[in-house]
């Protein structure tokens, strides 16, 4: 038996419960992982909040798309990992658990130089950032505006763009200006007058919206001449109506791009060129509290569950 978190009904984080479930032995092509840390993402609470429907046939909902841990068993025909290997699990589902069984294709070797917490928070947000930056072709010499630069995706996007040789302007609240600067970007306060403040810093070649606000979209459209160099991961309606890019949202091309990004992300993180900031850790049993705090004002960085 292993402990796992499920949403037994739709609603607020109070519907999350820690239950015991059987862990099957790994089948052909599968591995069992003893989980050390689990990444918490907005996607997780949207699954049970009703934001994407309330189909009772999907209950109970098992949560969690990224984790890190140690391989404790392998199924037949698994040759890419061995028992005892430290790995990152992503993509996945139902990873809010002490033990999980996943396809061997979902595990990536964890660099010894990064912590369990950083490993568990790397690949989902990092893959999203790479997908978006590739879509708008960010490269050396570009100036890119990143909305929500202190967030989970935004902070990795800043570091990745800087690593590509781009100049980055990053929007953030007052309390996160210095954090954005520490990532290698020029911080700018969002809110009234954002367009003028960015114009004072120079011209912008591309924009990446992680915030999803009308302000972020409107400013991007005003500053970037080529709509093909604007991308959002949130404002899907505006992307469709205004004719710019959106990535994610179940798009198979995005899923494939994010899988391909895993090697680059792990290499950069292992070399110390990409850092996942950990805002707070919670015991697995406190998943409901983690979700409640994630939906309110909170420190910059990733929330992590510890089994």
CATH number at residue 108: 3.90.180.10
| CA-based nearest residue to 188, from 164, 223, 163, 160 | 223
- Are 242 and 280 members of one domain? no
pLDDT of residue 300: 84
pLDDT of residue 297: 78
pLDDT of residue 1: 93
Q: Tell me the pLDDT tens digit for each residue of 134-154.
A: 999 999 999 999 999 999 999
pLDDT of residue 252: 87
- Are 234 and 282 members of one domain? no
- Are 94 and 186 members of one domain? no
Within-domain flag for 116? yes
Total domains, the chain: 2
- Are 298 and 215 members of one domain? no
- Are 99 and 184 members of one domain? no
Within-domain flag for 260? no
User: Residues with Cβ < 8 Å from 221, sequence gap 6 or more?
Assistant: 227, 230, 242, 244
- Are 134 and 247 members of one domain? yes
**Domain containing residue 113:** 2-122+276-306
Average pLDDT over residues 7-20: 97
pLDDT of residue 251: 85
DSSP code for 50: S
- Are 201 and 110 members of one domain? no
Within-domain flag for 263? no
User: Residues with Cβ < 8 Å from 270, sequence gap 6 or more?
Assistant: 111, 112, 113, 114
Which band of pLDDT confidence, cut at 50, 70 and 90, is reported for residue 250?
confident
**Residue 218 belongs to domain with CATH number:** 3.40.50.720
């Amino acid at each position: 038996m292993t402990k796992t978190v499920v949403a037994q009904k739709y609603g607020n984080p109070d519907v999350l419960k820690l239950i015991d479930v059987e862990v099957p032995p790994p089948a052909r092509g599968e591995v069992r992982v003893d989980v050390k840390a689990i990444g918490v993402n907005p996607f997780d609470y949207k699954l049970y909040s009703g934001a994407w429907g309330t189909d009772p046939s999907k209950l109970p909902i098992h949560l969690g798309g990224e984790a890190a841990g140690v391989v404790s068993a392998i199924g037949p025909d698994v040759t890419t990992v061995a028992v005892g290997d430290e790995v990152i699990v992503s993509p996945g589902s139902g990873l809010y658990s002490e033990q999980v069984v996943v396809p061997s294709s979902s595990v990536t070797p964890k660099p010894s130089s990064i912590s369990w917490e950083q490993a568990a928070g790397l690949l989902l947000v990092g893959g999203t950032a790479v997908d978006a930056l590739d879509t708008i072709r960010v490269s050396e010499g570009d100036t890119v505006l990143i909305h929500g630069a202190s967030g989970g995706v935004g902070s990795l996007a800043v570091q990745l763009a800087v690593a590509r040789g781009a100049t980055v302007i990053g929007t953030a609240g007052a309390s996160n200006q210095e954090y954005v600067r520490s990532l290698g970007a020029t911080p700018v306060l969002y809110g009234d007058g954002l367009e003028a403040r960015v114009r004072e810093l120079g011209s912008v070649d591309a924009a990446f919206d992680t915030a999803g606000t009308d302000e972020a979209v409107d400013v991007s459209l005003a500053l970037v001449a080529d709509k093909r160099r604007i991308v959002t991961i949130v404002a899907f309606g505006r992307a469709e109506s205004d004719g710019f890019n959106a990535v994610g949202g179940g798009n198979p091309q995005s899923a494939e791009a994010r899988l391909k990004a895993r090697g680059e992300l792990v290499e950069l993180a292992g070399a110390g060129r990409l850092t996942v900031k950990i805002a707070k850790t919670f015991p697995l049993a406190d998943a409901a509290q983690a979700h409640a705090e994630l939906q309110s004002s909170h420190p910059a960085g990733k929330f992590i569950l510890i089994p």
